[in-house]
Amino acid sequence: MRTTSPVWVEIDAGAIAHNLDVVRGEVGITTRLCGVVKADAYGHGIPVVLPILTAAGVDTIGITSNQEAEEVRRLGFPGRIIRLRTALRDEIQEGARLDIEEWVGGGDHARVVVAAARSLGRPLRVHLSLNSTGLSRDGMDWDDPQAQPHLRRIAASPELAIVGVCSHFPCEDADDVRAGALAFRNQAGAAERVLGAPRGRFEKHCATSYAALTVPDSRMDMVRIGAALYGDTSAAIPDLLPAMRLVSRIAAINPYPAGSTVGYDRAARIDRSSRLAVIPVGYADGYPRTLGGRGHGLGPGTFAPVIDRLAMNSLVIDVTQVPSAQVGDEVVLYGRQGSAQIRSADIERASGTIAAGSYTAWARLNPRVVVDVPASESVPTG
C-alpha cells in the first residue's frame, strides 16, 4: 500500500499477530480472551486487527461504539461482541441488531437496559459491573444500601439475560490489582448467589492487559486484552512489539545562523548555526503541540529534537548533528526506526498526556498503511 500523504500511520500486522501469540502464551488456552478493538482498534484499524484475532481463534470482541460493532459484524464476525462501557438507551436499542452484550453500569443503569429491552420486545444479554476495584465509574458499589435491592430486582427482570459479572481496575500497579481482583472474586460470588446464576455461576472478568500479564489471579474466566495486542502496555513482558509508527519525510532543509529564533512566538532560539529540517506534520494532524520543543524525530539511527512550537501542519527538527540528512528522508515521530525507537513512555514524558490519546488521533486524521515486518527485524519494547 502506498500513500502520497506527507504523513501516515504505519501498522505492523505481523507485530499484532506476534503480540497475540505472546499474550496467549502467558494466559494459557483455558482462559477466554476478549480482543479489545475500541477506538478503531486503538487506531490500528478494525479491518487489520479483527482477521488476526479470528485467525487465532478469538471468539469474543470488546468494543465501545455501535459503529465498531457494525464494522466487526460487516467483516463477518459471528462471535460475541461485548460493549466495554455503559451505553445510552438509544444506543442500546440501535445496537441490539448487532447482538451486543451490554455493560450494566449500576442499579439505575439496569433500569435503562430493561427499558431498552422492553422496547425491543426481547431480553438483552448483559454483564453486571461491580465497583469491587474502586474505580467508582460504572459499577455497583457493594456497600451501597441499595445494592441488594438492586440485585434482587435485576434477578427478577426477565429482560436481562445475565452472562457475566465484571469489574475494571483503576491502576496499573500489581498490589492494587491483586487486592481488587480478590475483592471482585468475593463480591462476584456473592452477587451470583443473589442473582441465581444458572449452573451456579456467571462469567467473571476484570483483567485488562496489565492485570492479565502481571497478576495471574486476576484472569478468572476471561481477560479483556487491548493494549498488549498493540505492544503498548506497562506490563513487564519484553517480547511485545510496538505495532504502530507515525511517519513523515523531510520536506526541506535550510541553514540558519546562530542567534536565529525558530517558529511561532520566537519560542525557540538557536545559539549556534544550525541545519533545520521542516517536517509536514503539525498539531492539526494530531501531533500534540505540547511536544513542541520536547519531541523527537528519528532518522536512521539518530534522534533529532523537535525544536519549534509546532504549526498547524508543520514542525521543525534540528538536523545539525545529522550531516547525512536530506530532503525526502523518512522521519519517524513515534515507533521504531531500525534499532532505535520512540515509545509511548517517551511521548508521555515529553507531552504530559497519555500516548493513546495521541496515536488514536493520528490514526483518525492520517492515512493508514499496513505492513508486515518479520519479527526478527522487530525491536522489543522492553
Ligand X SMILES: *Cc1c(COP(=O)(O)O)cnc(C)c1O
Considering the complex, state which of residue 36 and residue 69 has its C-beta at the smaller distance from ligand X.
Answer: 36
Considering the complex, state which of residue 127 and residue 150 has its C-beta at the smaller distance from ligand X.
Answer: 127
Using rule CB under 6 A, residue 227 touches ligand X: yes
Considering the complex, state which of residue 170 and residue 338 has its C-beta at the smaller distance from ligand X.
Answer: 170
Out of 13, 16, 36, 281, the residue judged to bind ligand X by CB under 6 A: 36
Interior angle at CA 313, CA 312 and CA 317, nearest 5: 105
Using rule CB under 6 A, residue 224 touches ligand X: yes
For the chain, what percentages of helix, strand and coil (3-state, to nearest 5) are there? 35, 25, 40
326 and 250 in contact (C-beta within 8 Å)? yes
Considering the complex, state which of residue 128 and residue 298 has its C-beta at the smaller distance from ligand X.
Answer: 128
Out of 43, 105, 107, 226, the residue judged to bind ligand X by CB under 6 A: 226
Out of 11, 147, 225, 325, the residue judged to bind ligand X by CB under 6 A: 225
Using rule CB under 6 A, residue 132 touches ligand X: no
Site string for ligand X, 228-247 (x = CB under 6 A): x-------------------
Contact positions with ligand X (CB under 6 A) in 204-223 = 208-210
Of all residues in this chain, which one has the CB nearest to ligand X in the complex? 226
Residue 354 CA to its chain's centroid (Å): 11
Per-residue cell: 311: 504549526
- The distance of closest approach from Cβ of residue 214 to ligand X in the complex, given in angstroms and rounded to an integer, is 11
223 and 27 in contact (C-beta within 8 Å)? yes
Interior angle at CA 77, CA 357 and CA 95, nearest 5: 65
Out of 44, 80, 150, 168, the residue judged to bind ligand X by CB under 6 A: 168
For residue 248, which phi and psi values (nearest 5 degrees)? -145, -165
Residue of 230, 264, 283, 334 with catalytic role: 264
- The distance of closest approach from Cβ of residue 230 to ligand X in the complex, given in angstroms and rounded to an integer, is 8
- The distance of closest approach from Cβ of residue 243 to ligand X in the complex, given in angstroms and rounded to an integer, is 13
264 is catalytic: yes
Considering the complex, state which of residue 191 and residue 332 has its C-beta at the smaller distance from ligand X.
Answer: 191
How many residues bind ligand X (CB under 6 A)? The answer is 12
204 is catalytic: no
Segment interacting with ligand X, rule: CB under 6 A, options 4-12, 48-56, 202-210, 301-309: 202-210
Considering the complex, state which of residue 126 and residue 276 has its C-beta at the smaller distance from ligand X.
Answer: 126
Q: Rounded distance, CA 59 to CA 342, Å? A: 33
Interior angle at CA 17, CA 16 and CA 23, nearest 5: 85
- The distance of closest approach from Cβ of residue 127 to ligand X in the complex, given in angstroms and rounded to an integer, is 10
Instruction: Quickly count: other Cβ atoms within 10 Å of residue 271's Cβ.
Output: 8
- The distance of closest approach from Cβ of residue 52 to ligand X in the complex, given in angstroms and rounded to an integer, is 16
Residue of 38, 42, 204, 210 with catalytic role: 38
Considering the complex, state which of residue 8 and residue 202 has its C-beta at the smaller distance from ligand X.
Answer: 202
Instruction: Note the helical H segments in 201-269.
Output: 209-214
Contact positions with ligand X (CB under 6 A) in 74-103 = 84
244 and 43 in contact (C-beta within 8 Å)? yes
Complete DSSP assignment for 5-61? SSEEEEEEHHHHHHHHHHHHHHH-SSSEEEEE-HHHHHTT-HHHHHHHHHHTT--EE
- The distance of closest approach from Cβ of residue 60 to ligand X in the complex, given in angstroms and rounded to an integer, is 12
- The distance of closest approach from Cβ of residue 340 to ligand X in the complex, given in angstroms and rounded to an integer, is 25
Q: Is 28 exposed, middle or buried (0-12, 13-18, 19+ CB in 10 A)?
A: exposed
Residue among 129, 209, 127, 135 at smallest CA distance from 179: 135
Using rule CB under 6 A, residue 277 touches ligand X: no
Instruction: Quickly count: other Cβ atoms within 10 Å of residue 190's Cβ.
Output: 16
Active site residues: 38, 264
Which residues of the chain form contacts with ligand X (CB under 6 A)?
36, 38, 84, 168, 208-210, 224-228
